[in-house]
Amino acid sequence: MQRVFSTVRPKARAFSDDGGAGGTDGQHVRRWFGPWLLALLVALSAGVQAAGPVVTTPHLRAELVSETVAVTPGRPFWVALRFTLQPGWHTYWRNPGDSGEAPRIRWTLPEGFSTGEIQWLPPQRLPVGPLMNHGYSGEAWLPVVITPPARLEAGAVTLRAAATWLVCKEDCIPERGEFALTLPVGSGAPTAHAPLFEELRSRLPKPLSGAGWQAAEGGLRLHLSGLSLTNLREVWFFAEDYGVLDHAAEQVAKRADTRLVLELKAGELGLQDGQTLRGVLVVQRDGAAGPFTEAWAIAAGPTPPASAMPGPALALGMALAGGLLLNLMPCVFPVLSLKALQLVQHTHLDPLRARLGGLAFTAGVLLSCLLLAGVLLALRAGGAAVGWGFQLQSPAFVALLAWLMLALGLWLSGVWGLGGAWMGMGQGLTTRGGYAGSFFTGVLAVVVATPCTAPFMGAALGYALVQPAAVALAVFAMLGLGLALPWLTLAFVPVLGRWLPRPGVWMERFKQAMAFPLYATAAWLVWVLAQQTDADGLALALAGLVGVGLLAWLLGTGPRSAWRNGLLIILGLVLLAGLARGIAPLAEPTHTTATDGWEPYSAARLAELRAAGRPVLVNFTAAWCITCKVNERTALETPRVRLALAEAGVARLVADWTRHDPALTRVLESFGRSGVPLYLLYPAGDGAPRVLPSVLTESLVLDQVRSATAGQDRAGGDR
């Protein structure tokens, strides 16, 4: 194989199409290297082999592989050109940098088939002397999505591809290959390559909203919002277009409030006014198991947009408002009803005790919020991808919470008690023990509030989780203050106490009635658990419910001995802890099939639908998220909304966050959110998605769908 040219040379390059359907010849070839000469060298330097799935050269092995063993009519599937390179050799990314040539693929497909663009994986930096190239060494994949027609005759189909590429070490060799892959028409079962394709899709850059650029002396500044700023090790931006950046120049990353700012040096072409800067941001972080890498797709407008998240003062105000509104959400109602009973008794018996009880409740709420925030921040600092409500992704925690709800329900029903009751009811309300009851009612209010998300909470908590610890804790404390503020106000403003009913027999009846919301909560938690664990885990959880019932009966029927009751409680807690340890999450995620028009979310499926030009609605939800379920019942699953989505051709994807899923957590974070719900409405084409409010109505969804499919640009979101 002859030497063609050296990789160390002046900054001049060729850049070609990205491997879309059919390909094009449009390319900018080096000023000193005519296109006819390059084509001639390609033909001379690589021997033409008989078309097949594999082409071998002295420098690499190229193979056309499919994710499935057969083609299913109308069902898109993935194929890829896979390069296995000899040690020391490399090939190139879509923008090869200061020198090089991007691979090209021309497809010849059966009638009715179509193919999308190459799904480019994040590149590596390949320094060559003073130059910087972008490409791949060791192994390179060029995956594409192929869509067959809805109807296919029985038999087999052949996919043909003609590819050209440049492979370099000290010298660069243009090569080419003709590939043919024959697949039967039938059921698209996975091949042995399926796990590799799953890994490829997980490595593809994920969209990052809230990016913008502005001119600066000697270059430009790239502003990035919605990106976690914790444990950053290294950041590098690869521009998609040649010449807009100096590829070899240093990139300086700075933190500016909630945003990451990259100082970039302009290239020989630079950016024009109004031009969009596109590329891939590769982020390396420190994790508990060592460094790990993330990749984000960037489309930055010519001016930095308003931050995807609020500033400090606004975030604190939104957290306070979110906490206030959390009192109206259904998840906290059973616990807050207990606080209402305490408040009625205290206010009419002793205003001072009412105030102290209000302070105790507030202290329980605030300390619980701060503890939850501390655990959350510590986990994220260790590299875990977690967010608001993360504890409910643990089957063991869900089981413990169900047992606690049953125990409290049985206590309200009068099955058991400990003299001066734990929650400060009955006689305990007139003693100092009632303050402990108020405190733990506040603790419990925070625990059961996590399945709910109120308006304003999403943006505020998303902001908090990318801030220094002190700022994050302040936001969580403000959320807790908002949750406690109505009760604190009632305790400290005597005139408001006149509106509260006076104590009486009705309080005992009301207390007993409040047991049933707690029973319902326990039943709902068991339903959530059934989606997180297997039959054995569910059996352990049910055994725990029986154990709680038995313990309550023993406490309520035996002699009132502190030693006896204390021993029973200790033994019961040990038993329940043992049962909880045996409740393990499912070994593999449960992949649901498409139901009622909804398909399981994946980055690959979203890319397929967008490549096909369809608008897409993505619902990030969880079984334990009550706000999500209410929205689905009242706004997303109504007949009018279903009809509107169908008529507009909107594809629907559901991203289930019931169980821990780091990939989904990173997508949530990219939109400035720390948890579910999140609703994204992608327009047809390549426009950015709209972020819908966390609390939906039918009319709001209908308006957004009409606007998005009509091509209008009206923003939605939690503002």
Give the number of other CB atoms < 10 A from CB of residue 192: 8
User: Which tens digits make up the pLDDT trace of 303-316?
Assistant: 544 444 566 788 89
Provide the residue count of the chain: 719
Question: If we measure between CA atoms, which residue out of 365, 334, 336, 323 comes closest to residue 457?
Answer: 323
pLDDT of residue 490: 81
β-pair partners for 143:
80
Residues 255, 256, 260, CA angle at the centre, nearest 5°?
A: 55
Instruction: List for the chain the helix, strand, coil content (%; round to 5).
Output: 40, 25, 35
Confidence of residue 273 (pLDDT cuts 50, 70, 90): low
Which tokens in the block code for residue 493? 């403003």
Which tokens in the block code for residue 693? 């409010």
The C-alpha atoms of residue 232 and residue 600 are separated, in whole angstroms, by 31
The C-alpha atoms of residue 674 and residue 678 are separated, in whole angstroms, by 10
Q: 19-23, 47-51, 492-496: which has the minimum mean pLDDT?
A: 19-23
Half-sphere exposure of 416 (CA within 13 A, CB side): 21
Confidence of residue 342 (pLDDT cuts 50, 70, 90): low
Longest dimension (CA), the chain: 99
pLDDT of residue 444: 84
Question: If we measure between CA atoms, which residue out of 91, 93, 133, 102 comes closest to residue 15?
Answer: 102
Cα-based distances in Å from 479 to 217, 333, 357, 375, 376: 42, 17, 20, 16, 15
Higher pLDDT: 417 or 615? It is 615
Quick one: average pLDDT of 271-288? Answer: 85
pLDDT of residue 595: 58
185: three-class secondary structure by DSSP: strand
The C-alpha atoms of residue 500 and residue 432 are separated, in whole angstroms, by 22
Contact 718, 656 (CB under 8 A): no
User: Which tens digits make up the pLDDT trace of 109-148?
Assistant: 999 999 989 999 999 999 988 899 999 999 999 999 999 9
Q: What is the dihedral of CA 553, 558, 561, 564, to 10 degrees?
A: -60
The C-alpha atoms of residue 446 and residue 335 are separated, in whole angstroms, by 10
**pTM of the full structure:** 0.56
Which tokens in the block code for residue 475? 């936001």
What CATH number has the domain spanning 598-709? 3.40.30.10
Q: What is the dihedral of CA 705, 706, 711, 714, to 10 degrees?
A: -70
Confidence of residue 482 (pLDDT cuts 50, 70, 90): very high
Residues 648, 650, 656, CA angle at the centre, nearest 5°?
A: 155
Confidence of residue 680 (pLDDT cuts 50, 70, 90): very high
H or E segment to which residue 282 belongs: strand 277-287
**CA 44 remoteness from chain centre:** 49
- Directed axis angle between helix 333-349 and helix 515-530, to 10°? 160
* Through-space distance between the first and last CA atoms of the chain, rounded to whole angstroms: 63
pLDDT of residue 8: 38
User: Which tens digits make up the pLDDT trace of 395-411?
Assistant: 999 999 999 989 988 98
pLDDT of residue 432: 37
Q: 30-44, 241-255, 389-403, 475-489: which has the minimum mean pLDDT?
A: 30-44
Q: Would you identify the CATH topology of the domain 5-203?
A: Immunoglobulin-like (2.60.40)
Alpha helices by DSSP H, 256-350? 312-326, 333-349
Half-sphere exposure of 304 (CA within 13 A, CB side): 17
Give the number of other CB atoms < 10 A from CB of residue 106: 18
Mean pLDDT over the full length of the chain: 81
